[in-house]
Structure 1
C-alpha cells in the first residue's frame, strides 16, 4: 500500500512539472508592419474551455501611456485574485517575494505590445454562482508616438473586453490624457451600440505619483474629479469626458510615489515600497477585488454575458480589425464600418429567409412541379436586386470608394446565396419529376380513376425533363408514359405502390380543393390536372 502511494505521488509530481503554469499570452499584437493581429487560438483557449464557457465573465483591463506601471499594478491584482479564488484573506504576497506575472521592469522601454491576457481565469464563487475573472494588460491605446489608427482600434477592443476599466494616469489629468480619453469614450459608445454590449460599465481613474501622500483617500480623489469637471464645464472642450466623470460608474483613486527603491533593480518587492504607497496600494486592490462581483460583463439589455458569448462578439470584432482595407482615421469612421458590416449580415439573413419561403422544405411535390427552375431563378434574381438596393440605402459614410467596395461585396454575397439556392431547387425539381415519371411508368396514376390523366401528366413531365435531363432521359419518361397508357394495369408491385401513394395524395388534395371551392361556389374539378399540365414557365 505504501509503495502504491509513493508511485502515485511521484506520478502526480511529474504531471505537475509538465503542467504549464498560468502566464500572460498575446490576445492582440502589433506585427512588424505595425498592423494589429489577433491570436484566435488564444481567444478560444481562454473563453471556450468546457469549464468556463457558460460562466458569466468579468474582465479587468488597464489602459494608459506606456511605462507608467500598468503591468506592475496588474501583477498585484493577480495575487489578490488568487487569494480570493482559494478562499483566503486578500493579500499582496510576502514582503520579499519578487513580482512576477505580466512582464514589467523599471525604465523607459515598453515591454507589452498590444493586449495581453492572463491565460487562466480566476473562478470565484458566491452564493452558489460562479464567474470567470480575466485580467488584461494593454500597451498602445494611448501611445502618443504611435499610430492613431492603432490607438483607436485598441481603445475599441479594450471597451469590448473590459467590464472594469482602469485608466492609468501619471500625476494629473493632462491635455494629452483628456484628448485620448475623449476619443476613447466616443469609441466606447459607438462600438457598444454596434455590438450590443454595455460600454464603460465601470471606470477607475487611477492617478499615480500623486504629489500629496497625506491626502490620498477616496474623498480626496472625488474632490480632484470635482475640480477637473468644473474646469471642463467652463471650457466646454471635453463633453464626453465631462459627462462620464459625473457618472456614478466612475471613481478616482490617488496613489503616491512608490519610492526610489522601486525605480532601481528591486524586482517589485513589497519591502522596497514606501509605507504610504504600500498601504494605499493594498487598500485600492482590496476594495477592487472584494467588489468585483458588481462588475460582471453585461449587454445593452443588462443581461450577463458568458465567456462563450463574449468570444463570439470578440471574434466578430477582430474579424474587422484584421481586414487590411479598414484604416480608421476617426472613431466615427470606425462606427460607420461596424454598422455597414452589421447591416450586410442582416441583409443576407433577410434575403435567405425570403428565398427559402419561395420553396419551403414542407412544399408538396405538386407545388414544386408548378414552378420551373427558370421561373424560380427569375424570382430569386428579383429578390436579390431588391435587397441589394436595400443595403445601398443603408450604407453609412460618404467615402465613394468604400461604398463601391461594400456594394461589390454585398452583390457577391447575394449572388453566391442565390446560386446555391438555385442548384438545390433544381435538384428538388428534378427529383420530383423523376419520381412522378417512375410512378407513371410502373403503375396506375389515378385521377378520378382515369388512365388518361397519367398520360397527360407524364407528357408534361417529359417536356420539362428535356430541359432538365436531356433528350435520352426524357425519351425514357415518355416511353414510360406510353407503357402506362397501354399496360398501366400490369404495373409492377413497387410501381403500383408508388402510383397508389401519388394517387392518394392527389385525391386528398382534390378533396381539400373541392371543399374550399364549394365554399366559394365552385365545383373544384380539374385543379390537380391544371397544376400538372400547366406549370409556370
Structure 2
C-alpha cells in the first residue's frame, strides 16, 4: 500500500481492472480502495463518467480534455471560459497515442477525484474512467463484452465514442455481432441483462447524441503526435465543439449521480459494487442475467449494512467514544440497546433489492457486526475506569499490608514461624507488584501481566466470601486482622 501511496502523490491513471494474458480480468481492490476510501471522499455521492468504444478512436484523447475542464472548474476554480488552455499548453493525463496499436488495457481510473457541491447541497465526488478499446485484433468477444458491460454497470454516464459512419452494431453493442463465434448465445445473455438492468433501475434509459467534427489528420494518423505543445495542430472547429460538449457532461448542473434501484450511491458503496460485479466476470463465460442481478442485490444490501453500522458507530461515539467520561456498565449496555435499535431501523427503511428473505441474512450480519463493535466500545469504556485500572496494584498493596500487620501480631504472640510465613507473603506481594509495573511500563511479558490482573480480579471479586463465611470460623484476633485488611483494600479504591 505504501508503494501505491507514493505512486499516487501525482495525479495519474490507475489501473483498477487489470487485463490478464489469458483474456480474463482482475480487480485491483487495493488500488481502488487507496484512491476512494479516504475520509473526505467515502461518504459523498458519486458521479462516474466513463468513455468506451472501439480502439484507436480517441477515448483517452477526449478524456484528457475532460481533465483540463475538471482542473479548471473544480480545482483551480478559474474563469471557466478559458478552461481549454492556450495553444502551446501540453495535453496531459490519460495515456494515448496515434497509430493503429491500442494503448489502454482494462479499465483505468484517474487518481484525482474531483469534489463539488450541487445546488441541492449534496456533496459529490466525480470519477473519470478510461476503458480498453474494443474490436482490435488481440481482443476476444468475451473480453470486449466484459469491458463494455463492467464500465456501463459501474458508471452513471457512459460515453460511447464512435467515429465516421454509425453502424447498426455500434448502436446495439450489447447484442454483439452474431457472425462472431459463439456470439448468438452471448448476444441473448447481454440483451437479457440489459433489459433486467433497466427494469431494476441499474441503467438509465436516457440517451443523447453529440456530433463532433474531426480533430484533424495530424491527430488521427501521426504515431508521434502526443498533444504536447501542439494544441495548435488540432482543428479549431473540434476545439470549439469541445467547449460545448464538455460542460454539457461535467458542469455542476449537468452532473448525473450514480443510482441503483433509485438510491444514490456513495463512494464507499461504489467500491462494493465493483467487487461484486468483478466476482461474476472472473470466469471464462459471460454471466447469466440472474448472476448479475444477484451481485447487484448483494452489493446493495452490503451498502445498507455499512450505512446502518455507521449510524451505530456515530451514535455510540457520542455516548462513550473518544474523550467521553467513563460510563457504568449498566448504562452503556442500555445505550447500546437503544442505538442498536436505531441502526436496525436505518437498515430496514433503506430501499433494498432481493426481497425480505434475501435481506434477512444481511440483517443478521449487521446484528453480529454491531455486537462485535459494542465489545470494542465496552472495552474502551472500561479502560477509562481509573479505579478498575488501579485494582491490581491496590489489591497486592493491600495484601502486603495485610501480611505485614499479621506478621507483627504473630510475632507479638511468639508465633515466629507463622510470622516468617507472613513476611514471605509480603515479599511475594511486593515482587508481584514490581513485575506488574514492569510489564505495564515495558509492554513485555504481557501473558504474565494478564495472569497477575486475573489473580487480582479473583481476589477482589471474592472478598465478600472471606467477609461473610470465613470470619465466622476464625478466632477473635484473626477476625479483627482480616476485617482490617478488607477495609484497607476497600479504602484504596
- Give the TM-score of the pair, scaled to structure 1: 0.48
Select which of 59, 72, 77 maps to 1:87.
77
Pick from 226, 238, 243 the counterpart of residue 267 of structure 1: 226
Is the Cα contact below 8 Å between 2:276 and 2:298 reproduced in 1?
Answer: no
Give 1:321 deviation, angstroms: 2.6
Preserved CA contact (<8 Å) 2:51 2:161 = yes
Alignment of 1:431-470 (within 5 A): none
Within 5 Å, give how 1:10-409 maps onto structure 2: 20-85=9-74, 86-90=76-80, 91-127=83-119, 128-141=121-134, 143=136, 146-182=139-175, 187=190, 190=193, 198-201=201-204, 249-262=206-219, 263-264=221-222, 265-268=224-227, 269-290=230-251, 293-301=254-262, 303-322=263-282, 326-329=283-286, 333-339=287-293
Which segments of 5 or more consecutive residues in structure 1 lack a partner in the other structure?
1-16, 202-246, 347-393, 395-412, 418-491, 498-537
1:119 Cα deviation after fit = 0.9
Q: CA deviation at 1:54?
A: 0.4
Partners of 2:218 and 2:233 within 8 A in 1: yes
Q: 1:156·1:191 contact (CA, 8 Å) conserved in 2?
A: no
Query: What are the equivalent positions in structure 2 for 1:424-503 lying under 5 Å apart?
Result: none
Secondary structure at 1:256's aligned position in 2? coil
**Separation in 2 of the partners of 1:32 and 1:145?**
10
* CA deviation string 1:11-43 (max 9, x = no partner): xxxxxx998210001010211222111111121
Change (3 A) 1:75 1:94: same
- 1:499-525 residue CA offsets vs partner (Å, 9 max, x unmatched): xxxxxxxxxxxxxxxxxxxxxxxxxxx
* Helix, strand or coil at the partner of 2:43: coil
Question: RMSD of aligned C-alpha atoms?
Answer: 4.1
Query: Offset at 1:192?
Result: 8.9
Bigger drift between 123-132 and 177-186 goes to 177-186
Unaligned runs of 5+ in 2: 1-5, 177-186, 301-357, 366-462, 469-493
Relative to 1, partners in 2 of residues 1:117 and 1:297: Cα closer, same or farther, differing over 3 Å?
same
TM-aligned CA deviation for residue 314 of structure 1? 1.3
CA separation of 1:23 and 1:318: change in aligned 2, threshold 3 A: same
CA distance in 1 between counterparts of 2:195 and 2:25 reads 20
Corresponding position of 2:434:
none
CA pair 96-185 structure 1, distance change in 2 beyond 3 A: farther
**Maintained 8 Å contact 1:58/1:163:** yes
Distance of 1:185 and 1:70 partners within structure 2: 27
Q: Distance in 1 between matches of 2:296 and 2:7?
A: 44
